[in-house]
Amino acid sequence: MVVFKPINRIFLIFGTVALFLVLFFLPRSKAKNHFEESVVKNSSVSISSFVKDFAKSIPVDIKKKYDSSAFDFNSKVKFWQALNRPMGVAYEWAQHALITKADTSWSNAGKWFVRMAMLESINEEKKNFYNLALEAFDKALELNPGNKEHLMDKGTVLVESGLNPMEGIGMLKKLEANDSNNVELLVRLARFSMQSGQTEKAIQRLTKAINIDSMRLDAHLYLADAYRQNQNIPNSLKHLKFFAARTLNPEEKKAAEEFIRELENQIMSNP
């Protein structure tokens, strides 16, 4: 039997899109810069304390540039993006949410804390970022309790972080029962099905997702991996090729094409 290599490296380039789209900073940046090291070390960190601690941690030279070039919210976000500092973007969204008290601002803050958790390699600090994300999503839900996106984001973080996977899956399945054609929800649940070894269930959900939205590229990539795990290489190649032909990211395209060649070579060498 042919043993096929995992497709993980494409996901490292593609980012875990099931969590809130392609991560802008992956894989080009580290979670923290030297001046950010102490900001999330406290296990009891809250969003308000995170904002205060980050502001105090900014070095004088960067603070001068920040004060002279960042005049409104958008320019402040762009400032940190130009420095390739995702924690700075998380800081701006968190501060914006504290000021505006809008559910959408809290939601975006939560998404950036998730990005930070995914970039973080230290387990305790990863957990702290996930807790910050949950605080943000809870605040979003306080303002807009029935919002499906906020509920989906909170449920996903509960699973992804390991903080309360059963509660998170329960939230996502409840949403699925009431909104069975939600493509984003189908993709997220499929990814968790794959993580628990339920590849057939994942394939069912992903197939349904691309039948609704054929251009959902991350669904094709997950399908390629699910079929690979089931040793259905023709279908795996079909979805990999679909992805490679349509992604606009040259790094994603290159990684997918390399993997396609490896699969085809393995098939030829193991008839």
Question: How is residue 266 written in tokens?
Answer: 């393995």
Which of residues 37 and 1 earns the better pLDDT score?
37
Count Cα atoms within 13 angstroms, Cβ side, for 197: 0
pLDDT level of residue 198 (50, 70, 90 thresholds): very high
- Domain parsing of the chain, residue ranges: 1-25+196-271, 31-179
Over 60: is that where the pLDDT of 189 sits? Answer: yes
**Runs of H (alpha helix) within the chain:** 8-14, 47-57, 60-69, 73-82, 86-100, 103-119, 123-143, 148-161, 165-178, 183-195, 199-212, 217-229, 233-246, 250-269
pLDDT in tens, 55-88: 988 889 999 999 998 789 999 999 999 988 889 9
User: CATH second-level architecture of 31-179?
Assistant: Alpha Horseshoe (1.25)
pLDDT in tens, 97-113: 999 999 999 999 999 99
pTM of this structure: 0.82
Mean pLDDT of the chain: 85
* Domain 1-25+196-271 matches domain 31-179 at the CATH topology level: yes
Specify the CATH class of 1-25+196-271 in words: mainly alpha
